[in-house]
Structure 1
């Protein structure tokens, strides 16, 4: 009986070691280039799953045989920075008077310009938040359609912002990025890279004696149709083996294709950061990628993540079809500090939650 118990213990240890290895592989997958190995580069999306599995092993060994818990503990230590990036736990701090408030929000065309009770909830939210700089993705210049939000109402609603810039992005020209600012926008230009519908815009914004480089992004979408998202949701609700196998193959191939396209866009943004004539840099927007990804790693190489520095929890920013990921980000240069970075779940009118924070130039 004792012999059987030993064999079972060693078998569990072997399984534990396997999952520690997978955890480390997902944690360091951002170093895999998506063009060379597109599928493997997407492994970071599963990081929280294997983190949870190893946490269960850690608790189990603490109860049964505490010495063996060192295996999972070693895994946690080897990916400590990734854990902090994915799941920061910071206390709220009071911003200084000199800090500026920045909002990044994929507004889904102001929820397709719909009104509720005569007002557009997204426009009302932006007004109420009263950020100093507002970077919007999936913006739309509305036509005067009866019963829907129009251009005049947007201008009136955002009249506190003296400066605004709207740019067409993508080769098809059906998507827009917008920046509203209480500070002068000195220049704005689209960063050149290939995409049918997505893009990035670099702004120079004068804040007091400083000039900021602000890069607003809507990076390559994951090419998932409404039908694909339904497949994913049904996999989560009813994990039938055949359904999971066929659905997973479909989703992984689409995610990998988008990841490879996005990597070239990210390299262009990284060059823009490296050649910026201004030291204070803010990069924000809808990255369509998680904090454990090639996208995030390359952009954050010379910057730091405001949510990691001053946010709390998972910060899930996409709110549809059970895709529980933080894909909206605010990154800042190392000569800046952030306070109370928040993914705001108080409004769900878009398929993204807004992300905002107070930023101070040190």
Structure 2
């Protein structure tokens, strides 16, 4: 520190604070939001903390300063203890027998005209038709504005009998069982369907966990009343934890092949993700590339997931940059 200029001393102090924040974030998967809800907020910032620390590494290396070691070592530790922020394409091949599954939060098909385009439902329908998923999972499904999806089997569960909003599962394979967890005190929900492919019965879960009400304009970090924002985030994370616990109890009763997908409204660095992804493979980690960004935000947020049981093989994973919603659709090709 003595050999650093005054400006570099200030920069290194900032570097130290942000590196410490990243180091603390590695504890997030082991701390339930029900225990420490304020700490859970850090899970949303992990991607940007990683990127900032990478910038610090480059900054110090350019100046040939050993201070690069601080962020470099913490980023290196993260490689072993947390999920990757960026994936390089491994060039996996697909099989004709793969099951193609897509998860897409369609934001009510633009019912409230967030996007100035009257053809959003048609564009979503055309996109799905082009990608031809065997299983289509939709979150924030809107009954009134929904286009027709060409599938022989479907399960649409509205939150309430007189509601128009809910979750949907469309399938090319016969659905022999279905159900809803009926999450309480929320507009969110979890549904499932058991589909028969060849001689296999596969359980498909469609999750839409508690929304944190983030939006694509990113005013949530700084421009909005901070106390109200933090209170809302804390309440949202606690609710997600409760919903996760309900899901885990339900999931424990199924021992067969399964796919768990949907909008978790939380990142891969959270307690919620760690609990749900336990004993499963993450489609993005197995076969994805890039940041895998699934939410149209100012920095790369991956909050939509396709998880499979440990016996499954993920041959392909894609995150599409379709701006027909505040979420991007994701699709995986899966085999057993």
Q: Give the TM-score normalised by structure 2.
A: 0.87
TM-superposition CA deviations, 1:1-54 (whole Å, max 9, x none)? xx9526867776665444322111123223221112111111111112221232
1:3-152 matches, cutoff 5 A: 4-5=2-3, 16-65=15-64, 67-81=66-80, 84-112=83-111, 120-142=122-144
Provide closer, same or farther for how the CA distance between residues 71 and 194 of structure 1 changes in structure 2, counting only shifts above 3 A.
same
1:256 aligned to 2:234? Answer: yes
Shift of 1:57: 2.5
Runs of at least 5 residues in structure 2 that lack an aligned partner in the other structure: none
Compare the two structures and name the one with the higher helix fraction.
Answer: 1
In the TM superposition, residue 264 of structure 1 has moved relative to its aligned partner by: 0.7
Is 1:348 aligned with 2:323? yes
Where does residue 241 of structure 1 map in the other structure? none
Partner Cα distance (1:357, 1:190) in 2: 24
User: What is the aligned-residue RMSD (CA, Å)?
Assistant: 2.9
Which residue of 267, 271, 286 corresponds with 2:263? 286
Does the residue aligned with 1:109 lie in a helix, a strand or coil?
helix
SS at match of 2:21: helix
Report deviation, 1:112: 2.4
Give me the whole-angstrom Cα distance separating, in 2, the residues matched to 1:91 and 1:83: 19
Give the distance between the partners of 2:120 and 2:323, measured in 1 at CA.
18
Give the direction of change, closer, same or farther, for the CA distance of 1:308–1:249 in structure 2 (3 Å limit).
farther
Residues 120 and 324 in structure 2, CA contact (< 8 A), matched pair in contact too: no
CA distance in 2, matches of 1:257, 1:197: 14
- Mapped pair 1:309 → 2:286: yes
In 2: Cα distance, 1:141 partner to 1:246 partner: 32
Q: Distance in 2 between matches of 1:170 and 1:221?
A: 18
SS at structure 2 position matched to 1:272: helix
How many Å apart are 1:285 and its aligned residue? Answer: 0.7
Question: Matches of 1:6 and 1:121 in 2, distance apart?
Answer: 56
The answer on whether the counterparts of 2:143 and 2:165 sit within 8 Å (CA) in structure 1 is no
Partner of residue 212, structure 1: 202
Give the unaligned 5+ runs of structure 1: 143-148, 237-243
1:330 aligned residue = 306
- Partner Cα separation in structure 2 for residue 112 and residue 34 of structure 1: 32
CA contact (8 A) 2:48 2:299 kept: no
Counterpart of 2:159 in structure 1 is 169
SS for the counterpart of 2:139 is strand
Q: Quick check: which has more Rg, 1 or 2?
A: 1
Aligned length: 332
* Residues 191 and 206, structure 2, Cα contact 8 Å, conserved in 1: yes
SS at match of 2:328: coil
State how far apart, in whole Å, the 2-side matches of 1:17 and 1:245 are.
26
Distance 1:81 1:272, change over 3 A: farther
